Structure 1
């Protein structure tokens, strides 16, 4: 294998290793995205598009060269078959055709994996961005939920305070009514006691008058008897 095809084969093996690293669950999308956005890669990223186009152009050139070699040696093999060439020449032609086909597959897969790696990098970066946006939205939703709960709690406290104030006001009014009723009850007790004392005094006065009336009646009876005896 010549030097250039050895380099392309090594590049192909490197691409296979990179694809495996990107596909296997070795690191999360965030870590890959942070790696892609590192300072070293940011410096390279400024001209990455240009380098990528150059790489694609080189791989396309090698692919076209391998196709040309395949067509060339396949035509020679067909001519040797029809002309019944020497066995050594036929084997050399078959070997060269095999190398051309090998080079075709190496350059073709290298070109294909280059496009795959670029697409994987873009998808991983987009996934990391979407995950960051999703987490930001979740945090925003959680903060909004917390704010709504606190607002509802404050409204509940205000309503509770209003109900407590109304209850306290009602209690104060009931206490005032109770004090008023107690005062009225005290007044009624005083009036009752006064009426009772007045009734007692009237009963005593009635007993006294009745006793005096009895005494006067006795005196009148005695005086009338004395007068009758005379």
Structure 2
């Protein structure tokens, strides 16, 4: 394997490890978001779009090169009968056919390596966007839950205050009724006393 394809294969392995880290429940979305928003990654994020486009362009070029090599070596049209015919003509033709098949295999391998590397780079970008969006949604939901809890506690305290005020008002009304009844009882007792005096005076006169 040449140097550039070794680098692309290593990049593919690194991408597989990153995808596994992002997919498996290793850390919460908040921790991933805090890592994404760190100073180092924020500094890289300003130029991340340019780097990502350059990386995609390089992977697309290698993918097209692998497709060209595949088409080049698959057009040779060798098969088992050609190999048998090559044995009749000599081992030189057979060696050439074996080298062609080996190069076709390498081209197919390079095609799969570059294709998967390109696909996983898009997957990683999408996973980072989704994880950061999930972290912001969780923060918003927790903030809304806190606001709802504070609103319910405030409503409960207001209802308790209203209940106490209504109870105090009812107690004051009850006290007023009791005092009014007491005054009426006092007036009736006074009237009864006057009636008794008038009655006793009438009896004495009679």
TM-score range normalised by the length of the shorter chain:
0.7 to 0.9
Q: Give the aligned partner of residue 50 of structure 1.
A: 50
The alignment's TM-score, normalised by the length of structure 2, stands at 0.85
The answer to whether the Cα contact below 8 Å between 2:78 and 2:97 also exists between their aligned partners in 1 is: no
Matched, 1:106 2:113: yes
Q: Measure the CA separation in 2 of the matches of 1:152 and 1:60.
A: 67
Q: Give the aligned partner of residue 223 of structure 1.
A: none
Q: How many residues align?
A: 199
Q: Is 160-169 or 184-193 further displaced after alignment? A: 184-193
Q: Give the aligned partner of residue 61 of structure 1.
A: 61
- Structure with more relative contact order (C-alpha pairs < 8 Å, separation 6 or more): 2
Q: Is 165-174 or 72-81 further displaced after alignment? A: 72-81
Q: Measure the CA separation in 2 of the matches of 1:11 and 1:187.
A: 116
Unaligned runs of 5+ in 2: 87-91
CA displacement at 1:77 relative to structure 2: 5.0
Aligned ranges 1:15-30 → 2 under 5 Å:
15-30=15-30
Unaligned runs of 5+ in 1: 203-230
Q: Give the aligned partner of residue 89 of structure 2.
A: none
The answer to whether the Cα contact below 8 Å between 1:77 and 1:94 also exists between their aligned partners in 2 is: no
The answer to whether the Cα contact below 8 Å between 1:77 and 1:90 also exists between their aligned partners in 2 is: no
Q: Measure the CA separation in 2 of the matches of 1:77 and 1:32.
A: 52
Q: Give the aligned partner of residue 95 of structure 2.
A: 88
The answer to whether the Cα contact below 8 Å between 1:62 and 1:107 also exists between their aligned partners in 2 is: yes
Matched, 1:177 2:181: no
The answer to whether the Cα contact below 8 Å between 2:70 and 2:104 also exists between their aligned partners in 1 is: yes
Q: Measure the CA separation in 2 of the matches of 1:116 and 1:81.
A: 43
Q: Measure the CA separation in 2 of the matches of 1:42 and 1:54.
A: 19
The alignment's TM-score, normalised by the length of structure 1, stands at 0.77
Q: Measure the CA separation in 2 of the matches of 1:41 and 1:138.
A: 31
Two-structure CA RMSD over aligned residues (Å): 2.5
